[in-house]
Structure 1
Amino acid sequence: MFEGLQGYHPALLALLAGLFTWGMTALGAATVLTTRDMPRSWLDAMLGFAAGVMIAASVWSLLLPAIDLAEAAGKPPWLPAAVGFLLGGGFLRLVDKYLPHLHLFQPDEAAEGVSTTWRRTTLLILAITLHNLPEGLAVGVAFGAAHVLGGGEEAATLLAGAVTLAIGIGLQNLPEGAAVSMPLRREGLSPGKSFFYGQLSGVVEPIGAVIGAVGVLLVQPLLPYALAFAAGAMIFVVVEEIIPESQSSGNGDIATFGVMVGFTVMMVLDVALG
């Protein structure tokens, strides 16, 4: 289905995919221009949906291909996936520990990272940027993986998986953009500033996508590790940030159902398109 894309440089494809996911973030953030507020239950359902998409994408689009590639190379199939997955989570833990940020719906004293005098809005944006970075890296690594394999059925499968991954992340960025801009509006920012900062959180995705694609091209033997690394980074964000936020206001059942819907949507996309 996507064979025609194989002639393009993976960094270009990664950039275009990252711009798409950023655009979906901006589109979701634009809802703040038409409404002042949104029920917290809706926001929690959106966060749950985003978590479900990221969990499914980590499995179908990243971990399973990493296992298959390792097996094809004659390595223990589980080793690169396990090592890369843990390294991805460990990397995000270090960033989470030192980068000043504040999760949505949290009071100022709950800010994490090194101590700083930065404004609350800045800390909120940094938290969402930290969330979006693994998504951009995952998209870039997926496109880079398809290019490294050259041609053939396996490369075509990875390319389809990369496109599916970009579509899935774009879909979850749509409600996520609203889940970012709406709380900023409640913080007292104008609709224009709330939209600007909401879409700004997605800028890191095309940047991360290009870095991921180029990184894979430079270090081709580490491809299975890179795929698993991106998966570990995303799962860390889901478990450490997104799910706790979606469950923090008494809307646990709604948020959990959102996770299941998001997981199902991403699973269907990956099987249908891949």
Structure 2
Amino acid sequence: METDFILSAILLSGLSGLAATLGAIIGWFNKERIEFIGAPLRHGIIAFGGGALIGAIGLVLVPHGVDSQPLWLAAGTFLIGGLVFMALSWWLKKRKTPIGQLLALMLDFVPEAIVLGAVISMEFGQAVFLAVIIAAQNLPEGFNAFREMQMGGRKTGRLAVPLMTIAPFVGMAAAMMGLFVYESNDLSLGMITTFCAGGILYLVFEDIIPESHDEDCGLFPAYGGLLGFTVGLIGYGLVG
């Protein structure tokens, strides 16, 4: 494996993960220094993150998963992913631990970073565009995950930014897995992508969409979801 591919995978995945950390820092700054993001825009960002996650499901994760495994297996792993994260969401809410949006972020980021690592040695331009799209998704998702944890109480609020700082390192590890372990059409990678897609879709309907409308903020938040999906659409047009 050429050193250039390894360094490129580390750089691209690290920068795309850093966008999530930056989103959390913006959320912290907005809360602690001056609240420059008002309620309509804040809810628009939440909806944008939800739209970006749906775009990742429909345009990246599910198509990749269906292409690399039998349809029955893709449907099965998708449904199992939803069931697993329904159970996890129930357990976390019982313990009053609000990290649903952080889980959704990681479920989106990890398989996409694996795919990034898997394709970088074959289609470098595709890997670069994928990194840009991942970063565009991670920024609002990081903001949303921080806000959810911060609203969950002092304990989770204190951990919000430190937890988000691990995102670049998670991305680097996932990209290395893609580079050294998986091929882009690997059956096990396809199963991972559809499992994660099922988990993400459950969390979007359970946590993100309701939160984007929990205040009377007019019509803007719903359009934020459309803008978020557009990020996935542009990424699909560039790399699909």
User: Which TM bucket (shorter chain)?
Assistant: 0.7 to 0.9
Flag the 1:134–1:213 CA change in 2: closer, same or farther, 3 A.
Answer: farther
What is the RMSD computed on CA atoms of the aligned residues?
3.8
Q: Secondary structure at the match of 1:8?
A: helix
Conserved? CA contact 2:17–2:135, under 8 Å: yes
Equivalent residue number for residue 84 of structure 1: 77
* Counterpart Cα distance in 2 of 1:213 and 1:230: 19
Is 1:271 the counterpart of 2:237? The answer is yes
Could you tell me which runs of 5 or more consecutive residues in structure 2 were left unpaired when the two chains were aligned.
none
Question: Larger Rg: 1 or 2?
Answer: 1
Conserved? CA contact 2:18–2:167, under 8 Å: no
Conserved? CA contact 2:102–2:142, under 8 Å: no
Q: Secondary structure at the match of 1:140?
A: helix
Please state how far the C-alpha of 1:213 moved relative to its aligned partner. Answer: 6.0
* Counterpart Cα distance in 2 of 1:194 and 1:134: 21
Flag the 1:258–1:195 CA change in 2: closer, same or farther, 3 A.
Answer: farther
Equivalent residue number for residue 29 of structure 2: 33
Alignment of 1:88-167 (within 5 A): 88-98=81-91, 100=92, 112-114=93-95, 123-124=97-98, 126-143=99-116, 145-146=118-119, 156=123, 160=126, 163-167=128-132
Flag the 1:88–1:113 CA change in 2: closer, same or farther, 3 A.
Answer: same
Q: 2:17 aligns with which of 14, 22, 27?
A: 22
Sequence identity (%)? 23
* Counterpart Cα distance in 2 of 1:221 and 1:178: 33
TM-score between both structures, scaled by the size of structure 2: 0.75
Could you tell me which runs of 5 or more consecutive residues in structure 1 were left unpaired when the two chains were aligned.
71-75, 101-111, 116-122
Please state how far the C-alpha of 1:40 moved relative to its aligned partner. Answer: 1.3
Flag the 1:91–1:143 CA change in 2: closer, same or farther, 3 A.
Answer: farther
* Counterpart Cα distance in 2 of 1:230 and 1:51: 15
Superposed CA deviations along residues 22-77 of structure 1, whole A, max 9, x for unmatched, are 3212323333437522211111100111111111111211111222233xxxxx4x
Q: 2:164 aligns with which of 184, 195, 201?
A: 201
Conserved? CA contact 1:17–1:206, under 8 Å: no
Equivalent residue number for residue 69 of structure 1: 68
Please state how far the C-alpha of 1:264 moved relative to its aligned partner. Answer: 1.3
* Counterpart Cα distance in 1 of 2:29 and 2:216: 27
* Counterpart Cα distance in 2 of 1:132 and 1:171: 12
Please state how far the C-alpha of 1:185 moved relative to its aligned partner. Answer: 7.4
